[in-house]
Structure 1
Amino acid sequence: MPNSKNTQRILIGEISGAHGIRGDVLVRTYTETPDAIASYGPLTDESGKRSFSLRVVRVTPKGIVARINGIEDRNAAEPLRGIKLYVGRDRLPDPKGAEYYYADLIGLDAVSDDSSALGKIVSVQNFGAGDLLELKPADGSATEFIPFEDRYVPNIDLQSRTIVIRRPDVTGSEDDEANDVEEDSEESDRL
């Protein structure tokens, strides 16, 4: 069943600890600008049962320092450490151009250029070198990571819930080998 934009919740921050004695908290934000997290109104925890209204006190390199309605001192703020903060997908702006929310990509049906079924996108990861789509192949084999780059992901259709995937050639092609030989030759010429 496709994800509904109206009911889906998106992780946009996490309370990383208490800050000071007045009940302020340090929040690691996942919004484009850190202080934008407060502009979405009340946020909820993972269960959706608890609600948090944030007011940004200041932005720091570690995140934002915020006040939460009803939290008056450090003792009340301490137990909030680790709470993930969510907002309804319908309260977020539509992405611009070729931008996507990770949550919109998860669950897409992956197909090849010829529309053959490849599997489903089960997560989006970033280990520091760029975004990777985790593809769960239709044949039940182990998941694989696909670089989220135009040459490997030439088309995304959120309306039809499909994504075109061109798997990277991990075996190395003759062109790659020829380039390696050329580089080795150039390097030996310089010695």
Structure 2
Amino acid sequence: MSDEKICVGAIAGAYGVRGELRIKSFCATAEDIETYSPLTSEDGQRHFHLALVRPIKGGFVARIAEVSSKEEADALKGVQLFALRDQLPSLPDDEYYYTDLIGLQVLDTGGELLGSVKTVADHGAGDILEVQRPGTSETILLPFTRAVVPTVDLLAGKLIADPPEGAL
């Protein structure tokens, strides 16, 4: 069993005065965050038994057994929630968890190093790779589509990109 943790959500703050919390889920199916309970803090020191109460704009209202007051809920604002990787479903061959892409080397179709994946973001129109250029603080943004990134090789730690004209 792997002890690698994946961030599946975050506590956005208190909701009401009875210790309920606003939860932001990072799961593809937002409600799935509840199925990975108990969740942990990043350092693994705190465990949270999460129960979703109802959806709200931008997330969910949830209860955590260990939280019974607004003050306790407020104290957890900003805490990221982690699940063990083994709890998450396996993905089809052409899908990836963001955490698997971060750190991969990015090569162009000619084999030239473009940099490494710094972050992956989804702003609603599709996933975007932020690529850290080697030896500089400069980054470039690449759409994470099959046309722009035709090859992802997790075992080799690299992906091949064909950046759109003007991206570099």
TM over 0.5: yes
5+ long unaligned stretches in structure 1: 172-191
What TM-score do you get using the length of structure 1 for normalisation?
Answer: 0.77
Aligned length: 167
User: Percent identity at matched positions?
Assistant: 37
Shift in Å at residue 29 of structure 1? Answer: 0.8
Shift in Å at residue 113 of structure 1? Answer: 2.0
Q: 1:31/1:141 Cα in 2 relative to 1: closer, same or farther (>3 Å)?
A: closer
8 Å CA contact 1:15–1:26 kept in 2: the answer is yes
- Find out whether 1:125 has 2:125 as its counterpart: no
- Find out whether 1:60 has 2:56 as its counterpart: yes
State the match for 2:94 in structure 1. Answer: 98
Cα deviation code 1:73-101 (max 9, x no counterpart):
22322211221111222321122242211
Of structures 1 and 2, the larger Rg is shown by 1
More strand by share: 2
The one-letter amino acid of 1:124's match is V
8 Å CA contact 2:48–2:66 kept in 1: the answer is no
The one-letter amino acid of 2:36's match is Y
Alignment of 1:63-74 (within 5 A): 63-74=59-70
Q: CA RMSD in A?
A: 2.2
Shift in Å at residue 164 of structure 1? Answer: 0.3
Q: Quick one: which of 27, 36, 40 aligns to 1:44?
A: 40
The one-letter amino acid of 1:126's match is D
The DSSP-based 3-state class of the residue aligned with 1:16 is strand
Q: 1:35/1:128 Cα in 2 relative to 1: closer, same or farther (>3 Å)?
A: closer
Partner Cα distance (2:101, 2:164) in 1: 19
The DSSP-based 3-state class of the residue aligned with 1:39 is helix
